[in-house]
Amino acid sequence: MAFIYSIKDTYRAAVEAASGGKNTVLYDDKGNPSVMVVIPKFYLDEVMDGAPHTVHPAFIVNGIEKDCIYISKYQNIVQDGRAYSLPGQDPRTYINFNQALSSCYAKGQGWHLMSRAEWAAIALWCKKMALCQEEIIIVVKK
């Protein structure tokens, strides 16, 4: 069983309402939740001047274009060998790469450590959003 995204529950609804839809809750194959940030699909030319109008590689999974990616909102804890993104918890420390990798894969199909493409997408997206915020502030000050 992969993500149980189609089932709306109280926790997911509360997280989505509180974040204006910017966060959601995804469940692993045991039904345990993780709070995730929804990063909407974007094109390279939207985040880099002079780049082609092609989808950022982070949104292409096994040759299939995705509408968004989900990134852990919180530093992960590890319970029963599985990583979870939950508020108000002390994150797992002193974990090596192989332990981190298996803690993510143990959650079931679709769960993984962040890829380089996802890290790059977030960095570019955040830089663009910061510039947009700066433009808004400049406009407000005028």
SS3 letters across 12-33: HHHHHHHHCCCEEEEECCCCCE
The C-alpha atoms of residue 24 and residue 15 are separated, in whole angstroms, by: 6
CA 55 vs. chain centroid, Å, equals 17
Cα-Cα end-to-end distance for the chain: 54
Q: How would you classify residue 53: left for phi > 0, otherwise alpha for psi between -120 and 50, otherwise beta?
A: beta
| Residue 60 in tokens | 């292409």
Give domain limits for the chain: 10-141
The C-alpha atoms of residue 16 and residue 38 are separated, in whole angstroms, by: 10
Q: What is the pLDDT of residue 128?
A: 85
Q: What is the pLDDT of residue 109?
A: 92
Q: How would you classify residue 14: left for phi > 0, otherwise alpha for psi between -120 and 50, otherwise beta?
A: alpha
> Is residue 28 within 8 Å of residue 108, measured between CB atoms?
yes
Q: What is the mean pLDDT of each run of 10 residues along the chain (142 residues)?
A: 58 93 94 94 94 96 94 94 94 93 94 93 88 55 48
Q: What is the pLDDT of residue 130?
A: 78
Q: What is the pLDDT of residue 7?
A: 59
